[in-house]
Amino acid sequence: MERKFPDSLIEEDEFSRFDRRDNVFGRVKHDEEAPFFRQGIYSRIDRVLDKEENYSSFELARAIGGWSVYDYFTEAFEPKTPDHSNNIMDKPILTPPSRDPEVLTREVKQAALDYGASLVGVTEVDKRWVYKTDRDGNPVDHLLDYDYAVVMIVPIELAPIRKSPGFPAARASAVSYSKMAFLISCLSEFIRRLGYRAAPMGNDGALSIPLAVDAGLGRLGRNGLLITSELGSCVKICKVFTNMELLEDDPVDTPLLSQCYSCKLCARACEVDAISEKTEPETGRACPSNNEGIFRWPVDHYSCYQFWLENGSDCSSCIAACPFTPN
């Protein structure tokens, strides 16, 4: 395939496929040297609970409840069809009326929108973005066998994000993750019922942001997140890999958002200075959970996660501060 992500932003001698155990959440589980080893996000909740309105027990319960589909419907993230169902009816494998890639692409995109995606794009799978292993160290090379990625954007409810770092923002983020699980499960079933393979993914399997950039859905921002023209970075990304032959969307012309070179509002909004204020992007690391070899503004995920521990929930203040986030 012809690579979309510009080679000028990759230092090939430094870059390699990322091991998912190296991100913050993998290090929580495996890295005894990490300062937050085995510390979950609610491990210090007693320090902040009910300290003010946005940290009430009711708000926290709503946030935890918002994760339920994502946390418990784990089969939504499996490449095989779930092996149990509440439906007693046998489901047919259908023959598509057309195998024209243009028709298939149109129908797949329409299905994604019908199931709740705000934006959807298609790209060939750049194998560099597939993880080397999952969070438990198991190889994910089976994902290298898929040709196309259907990348989808799930919006995050905006009003609660404005209350970050309080629990309402955590609830909005949690609900969007459960919507991701619903969306990829539905789209994968749609694809499988037409006789094709589908591998649904949230943040697992492969790096979502470069796939979204390749699919023309946005650019990478200073805050380390995808920034879309429609919703800013107030979004979550999910994707479905498939062997269905589809038509690719054009990538954005420049993967890095040009306004981020001068705008540093997200960095100034960060409670722990985890976001770089340097003007120019770089290939180095801000913490052990960064991959090397990609020009971007590296985010100190260690400091970010340690703030989450002190805060009792995740934080979205950089999203709220971004001028591309709708008012």
Q: Which one, of 114, 260, 262, lies nearest residue 187 by Cα?
A: 114
How many Å apart are CA 90 and CA 188, to the nearest integer? 17
How many Å apart are CA 261 and CA 280, to the nearest integer? 6
Domain boundaries, the chain: 7-321
Q: Residue 2: what pLDDT?
A: 61
Taking only the tens place, the pLDDT of each residue in 183-218 is 999 999 999 999 999 999 999 999 999 999 999 999
| Residue 236, beta-bridge partner list | 154
Q: What is the mean pLDDT of residues 304-322?
A: 97
Q: Which one, of 25, 98, 9, lies nearest residue 289 by Cα?
A: 25
> What residues contact residue 233 under an 8 Å CB cut-off, 6+ apart?
221, 223, 225, 226, 227, 318, 319, 322, 324, 325
The pTM for the full model equals 0.95
* Integer CA distances (angstroms), 63 to 181, 286, 312, 313, 317, in order: 16, 29, 11, 9, 16
Q: Residue 9: what pLDDT?
A: 85
Taking only the tens place, the pLDDT of each residue in 97-124 is 999 999 999 999 999 999 999 999 999 9
Q: What percent of the chain has pLDDT over 90?
A: 91
Taking only the tens place, the pLDDT of each residue in 132-158 is 999 999 999 999 999 999 999 999 999
User: What values do phi and psi take at 240, rounded to 5?
Assistant: -130, 120
Per-residue pLDDT at 168 exceeds 70: yes
The two structure tokens encoding residue 50: 């009910």
How many Å apart are CA 219 and CA 16, to the nearest integer? 21
Look at 14 and 2; give whichever has higher pLDDT.
Answer: 14
Return the number of other C-beta atoms located less than 10 Å from residue 266's C-beta. Answer: 29
How many Å apart are CA 128 and CA 214, to the nearest integer? 12
Q: What is the mean pLDDT of residues 272-286?
A: 96
At residue 158, the 3 state secondary structure works out as helix
